[in-house]
Amino acid sequence: MKKKKDPAEQFLELSARLTGFERVELQGTGLSEEYYRQLVGVIGKELCDELCLLSSRLIEEFHDDEDELNAALRRQIMASAKFGPVARNIIQMWYLGSWIQMPPGWRSQFGTAPNDVTRVISAEGYIQSLVYNVMGAHPPAAKQPGFGSWGQPPDSDPL
């Protein structure tokens, strides 16, 4: 019998699909568990479990076909009034290291939590912001690439 994945693991797999990063790249930031906790802390365990379960089911169902999977993720998660704003926040959490306050419409329908405020999640979160990796850069004041490095293109173009 296949072992059932725990929600934190499901969250990591969903995060990989949403961000366009490999699971191992996300794990490499050391922040996956922290971000899962942050998400639960704002939207609650129940909603979080529901999202993770749904995404896990879609990933399993369409694992052979990337396009089909993306289409299903778009229809059932990104376009969902309930899950869309949450998914967009998961992306922004990974890319920016910040929690962005949920949109007003979502807050009035699904509730407000005291820590649903725009904030940098942690110093480490900022340092691991993925947006800079994608740009061939690094977060200002961290992961400095060394004297003169800016005079050349980055060693490896991420594309």
Sketch the per residue contact string, 76 through 115, with another protein: x for CB under 8 A, - otherwise. --x--------xx--xx--xx-x-x---------------
Choose, by CB under 8 A, the member of 42, 43, 48, 73 that binds another protein: 73
Residues paired with residue 119 on neighbouring β-strands, in sequence order: 99
Please report how many Cα atoms fall inside a 13 Å half-sphere around the Cα of residue 1, on the Cβ side.
3
As a residue count, the chain comes to 159
**75 lines the binding site for another protein (CB under 8 A):** no
Please report how many Cα atoms fall inside a 13 Å half-sphere around the Cα of residue 58, on the Cβ side.
24
Q: Which stretch binds another protein (CB under 8 A): 26-34, 41-49, 57-65, 126-134?
A: 126-134
Distance CA 117, CA 125 (A): 16
Number of residues that bind another protein (CB under 8 A): 48
Q: How far is the CB of 83 from another protein (least distance, A)?
A: 12
In 3-state terms the chain splits into helix, strand, coil percentages (rounded to 5) of: 60, 5, 40
Q: How far is the CB of 5 from another protein (least distance, A)?
A: 20
**51 lines the binding site for another protein (CB under 8 A):** no
Residues 23 and 16 sit within 8 Å (Cβ to Cβ):
yes
Q: Which stretch binds another protein (CB under 8 A): 30-38, 46-54, 107-115, 138-146?
A: 138-146
User: Angle at CA 16, nearest 5°, toward 97 and 106?
Assistant: 60
**Site residues, another protein (CB under 8 A):** 17-21, 70, 73-74, 78, 87-88, 91-92, 95-96, 98, 100, 118-120, 122-123, 126-127, 131-132, 134-138, 140-142, 144-154, 157-159
